[in-house]
Chains A and B, each alone.
Chain A
Amino acid sequence: MAAVTLSEVRKSYGQVPIIHGIDLAVNSGEFLVLVGPSGCGKSTLLRMIAGLEEITDGTIAIGDRIVNDLPASQRNLSMVFQSYALYPHMSVRKNLAFGLVNLRMPREEIERRVAEAARILRIEELLERKPRQLSGGQKQRVAIGRAIVREPQLFLFDEPLSNLDAELRVQMRVELASLYNRLGTTMIYVTHDQVEAMTMATRIVVLNKGRIEQVGTPYELYNAPANLFVATFIGSPKMNVLAATAAGGKVEVAGLGTLPLPADKQAEGKISIGVRPEQVTIGAGELTVEGTITLVEYLGSEVFLYVRVASGDTLLVQAPGQSQYKIHDPITLGINSKEAHYFNGEGLRVG
């Protein structure tokens, strides 16, 4: 187990900067998820930690060693790739043992570790097969197995579940989480899927355009997003954002009416107000608005309503699965000041 410390880490391809000075401390034994839209630099950052990508500037330390100039194999970490990257010409057993053989580990020790990993991942009966004879889920298990036999101090995952179908993905998510609980090793996990991030992480790092937007537990990110980007990126479906003006402890929501500003918030001038779909109440609230349903998405356990309101905005509202709303129905919605999020003119959280 090891902590990972990044300070002022930068990366550019030629003149084009990709990562702009990242400072990040990964605690020993935590499951840290890097999440962000495609092209935000999350994979590059992971590959820099792995040693597959050179860093342009800054330092990366694993444990108390600065690893900037250390080749990947000497960083005592293992990595699971999106495409699994199993060696096609080797049996599962050889795939698992390959790295250990390269370390010139004694044969008995290699056999013990391979057997142990196979047992944990329930792939014992697959050991003599070639990768092409495996299903997607089995390949994924072998890839994870190859990572754990090395008993590294750090695991890296690069979108490991994105090639699986939806059902398997949920299953592997659970298995990964229990593997983490069992091993307790530091893990850094890259994904673009915020559900994966929310469900598995002890802490999440939200990246955007090569910069960190926020670091926090899933609870913090969801309930206290630091800025508009995080607010709209985390949570599915997305948070509703309305333009508003704050003055003298009151918030004038454009075209809809006024809300009181909660006592612990300080804001003046142009702001944005964010309300999650489940926080919009059906029926009257502190601010009551009338609207018309333009689309109904029935999900079974709940229903999402797209409601067009007087200001011209469309609000997304979550309703219970039993409700019987139809398109074109009029509806009354309420927004309450305590449940709303407030962002100032720069998009930063207020208060």
Chain B
Amino acid sequence: MTEATITPAMLSTAEVARAYREAKAKRAKKAALLKHVFLIITSLIMIYPLLWMLASSLKPDNQIFGDLGLWPREFQWQNYWAGWNALPVSFTTFFWNSTVVTVLSVIGNVISCSFAAYAFARLEFSGKTIWFALMMMTLMIPYHVVLIPQYLLFLNLGWVDTYLPLIVPRFLAGDAFFIFLMIQFFRQLPRELDEAAMIDGCSPFKIYWAIIMPLSLPAMATAAIFSFIWTWEDFLGPLVYLNDMEDYTVPLALRSFISSDGVSQYGPMFAMSILSILPIILFFVIFQRLIIRGIAMSGLK
């Protein structure tokens, strides 16, 4: 190649290329618009039932059914008051019960699962691979399979009608999902940190407490949030272990609405349903980044 000159033929090719580029950009813009229309409609459909429930919680009973509107003609705030006291036991008790169970479960889960995850991710001991494989297998076991023997065990311990069957398993790292989530996180931390700490005179526990934990706050928060949501929503556990209405958690109480003698109090029922999911929605709004990253990280649930 010696000297380059621009010929007329080249110029017209450039014209064509430009036109092609512009057409493509236009098409891309149109496609993006269509996508947005599709996504907006889909999200409206997704969110509509929840908004409808919110609206219905403020409507008088006779305006709930068949009314598609999302704006009550009159706001019946007393639905919330009525719902709160609709059952023989007040919802104050149910929310308190749920809070106790949930807070203790979350604490238990985070401590015990981070212990196990630290052992699997950072410590050397014989039999580690076997235990790890067994731990992963428990991810697949349906709760229903262990439910009956667990029930019999707790029955013999005299724990039925207490919160112990709901809380104690959380302190024994009962949910392998969280162990797995934390292992994934711990493995990203450089091992040389542990070694530097070892030379700096740290015991394994001190390394866990002073190095690994402070660096894993996002993972701990993710685990705490998920375990909060699942415990708060848990229905089967309380259904099996709690019989006295004084002990009911919120989901059990909600069920009492529909099973109690068919007298329908739809407005109050929806009001309590809204209140029951409010903590979850609040958590979700505040922590959605962590939650979504947690899903992507563990690839589970």
**Chain B, 191-239, CB within 8 A of any chain A CB:** 192-193, 195-202, 206, 210-211, 214-215
Cβ contact within 8 Å between B200 and A73: yes
Cβ contact within 8 Å between A99 and B195: no
Q: Does A237 contact B (CB under 8 A)?
A: no
Contact with B along A140-161 (1 / 0, CB 8 A): 0000001000000000000000
State how many angstroms separate the Cβ of A35 from the closest Cβ of chain B: 21
Residue of A nearest to B190 (CB): A83
Cβ contact within 8 Å between A73 and B193: no
A102: chain B residues at CB < 8 Å are 200-202, 206
Residue of B nearest to A82 (CB): B192
User: What is the CA–CA distance of A77 and B192 in the complex, to the nearest angstrom?
Assistant: 16
B192: chain A residues at CB < 8 Å are 81-83, 85
Contacts A/B (CB < 8 Å), 26 sampled: A47-B195, A50-B195, A51-B198, A52-B195, A52-B198, A52-B199, A71-B198, A73-B198, A73-B201, A79-B195, A79-B199, A81-B195, A81-B196, A83-B190, A85-B192, A87-B193, A87-B197, A88-B193, A88-B215, A98-B197, A99-B199, A99-B200, A102-B200, A102-B206, A103-B201, A146-B200
Residue of B nearest to A89 (CB): B214
User: What is the CA–CA distance of A29 and B139 in the complex, to the nearest angstrom?
Assistant: 56
User: What is the CA–CA distance of A87 and B192 in the complex, to the nearest angstrom?
Assistant: 10
A103: chain B residues at CB < 8 Å are 201
B195: chain A residues at CB < 8 Å are 47, 50, 52, 72, 79, 81, 85
State how many angstroms separate the Cβ of A73 from the closest Cβ of chain B: 4
B198: chain A residues at CB < 8 Å are 51-52, 71-73
State how many angstroms separate the Cβ of B90 from the closest Cβ of chain A: 45
B190: chain A residues at CB < 8 Å are 83, 85
State how many angstroms separate the Cβ of A109 from the closest Cβ of chain B: 15
State how many angstroms separate the Cβ of A195 from the closest Cβ of chain B: 24
Residue of B nearest to A83 (CB): B192
User: What is the CA–CA distance of A62 and B193 in the complex, to the nearest angstrom?
Assistant: 24
State how many angstroms separate the Cβ of A306 from the closest Cβ of chain B: 30
Q: Does A191 contact B (CB under 8 A)?
A: no
User: What is the CA–CA distance of A85 and B206 in the complex, to the nearest angstrom?
Assistant: 17
Identify the B interface with A (CB < 8 A): 190, 192-193, 195-202, 206, 210-211, 214-215
Residue of B193, B199, B215 contacting most chain A CB atoms (<10 Å): B199
Q: Does A318 contact B (CB under 8 A)?
A: no
Q: What 12 additional pairs, Cβ within 8 angstroms, besides A72-B199, A87-B211, A102-B201?
A: A47-B195, A72-B195, A73-B200, A78-B199, A79-B199, A81-B192, A88-B215, A99-B200, A99-B201, A102-B202, A103-B201, A146-B200
**Chain A, 122-176, CB within 8 A of any chain B CB:** 146
State how many angstroms separate the Cβ of A11 from the closest Cβ of chain B: 15
State how many angstroms separate the Cβ of A182 from the closest Cβ of chain B: 22
User: What is the CA–CA distance of A51 and B195 in the complex, to the nearest angstrom?
Assistant: 9
User: What is the CA–CA distance of A89 and B216 in the complex, to the nearest angstrom?
Assistant: 10
State how many angstroms separate the Cβ of B220 from the closest Cβ of chain A: 13
User: What is the CA–CA distance of A73 and B200 in the complex, to the nearest angstrom?
Assistant: 6
A88: chain B residues at CB < 8 Å are 193, 215
Cβ contact within 8 Å between B214 and A77: no
User: What is the CA–CA distance of A86 and B195 in the complex, to the nearest angstrom?
Assistant: 11
Residue of A nearest to B217 (CB): A89
Interface pairs A-B: 5 shortest CB-CB:
A99-B200, A73-B201, A85-B192, A102-B201, A85-B196
Cβ contact within 8 Å between B215 and A73: no
Contact with B along A98-118 (1 / 0, CB 8 A): 110011000000000000000
User: What is the CA–CA distance of A86 and B197 in the complex, to the nearest angstrom?
Assistant: 10
Residue of B193, B195, B214 contacting most chain A CB atoms (<10 Å): B195
State how many angstroms separate the Cβ of A248 from the closest Cβ of chain B: 58
State how many angstroms separate the Cβ of B218 from the closest Cβ of chain A: 12
User: What is the CA–CA distance of A83 and B201 in the complex, to the nearest angstrom?
Assistant: 19
State how many angstroms separate the Cβ of A160 from the closest Cβ of chain B: 12
A50: chain B residues at CB < 8 Å are 195, 199
B206: chain A residues at CB < 8 Å are 102
Contact with B along A46-76 (1 / 0, CB 8 A): 0100111000000000000000000111000
Cβ contact within 8 Å between A89 and B201: no
Cβ contact within 8 Å between A98 and B199: no
A87: chain B residues at CB < 8 Å are 193, 196-197, 211
State how many angstroms separate the Cβ of B185 from the closest Cβ of chain A: 14
User: What is the CA–CA distance of A71 and B195 in the complex, to the nearest angstrom?
Assistant: 11
A47: chain B residues at CB < 8 Å are 195
B193: chain A residues at CB < 8 Å are 85, 87-88
B197: chain A residues at CB < 8 Å are 87, 98
Residue of A47, A77, A81 contacting most chain B CB atoms (<10 Å): A81
Cβ contact within 8 Å between B202 and A73: yes
State how many angstroms separate the Cβ of A156 from the closest Cβ of chain B: 9
B215: chain A residues at CB < 8 Å are 88-89
User: What is the CA–CA distance of A83 and B195 in the complex, to the nearest angstrom?
Assistant: 12
User: What is the CA–CA distance of A98 and B198 in the complex, to the nearest angstrom?
Assistant: 11
User: What is the CA–CA distance of A78 and B198 in the complex, to the nearest angstrom?
Assistant: 10
Contact with B along A301-337 (1 / 0, CB 8 A): 0000000000000000000000000000000000000
User: What is the CA–CA distance of A331 and B190 in the complex, to the nearest angstrom?
Assistant: 54
B200: chain A residues at CB < 8 Å are 73, 98-99, 102, 146
User: What is the CA–CA distance of A47 and B197 in the complex, to the nearest angstrom?
Assistant: 14
Residue of B nearest to A98 (CB): B200
B202: chain A residues at CB < 8 Å are 73, 102
A99: chain B residues at CB < 8 Å are 199-201
User: What is the CA–CA distance of A88 and B211 in the complex, to the nearest angstrom?
Assistant: 9
A86: chain B residues at CB < 8 Å are 196
User: What is the CA–CA distance of A87 and B215 in the complex, to the nearest angstrom?
Assistant: 9
State how many angstroms separate the Cβ of B174 from the closest Cβ of chain A: 30
User: What is the CA–CA distance of A47 and B192 in the complex, to the nearest angstrom?
Assistant: 11
Residue of A nearest to B191 (CB): A85
State how many angstroms separate the Cβ of A20 from the closest Cβ of chain B: 23
User: What is the CA–CA distance of A230 and B63 in the complex, to the nearest angstrom?
Assistant: 93
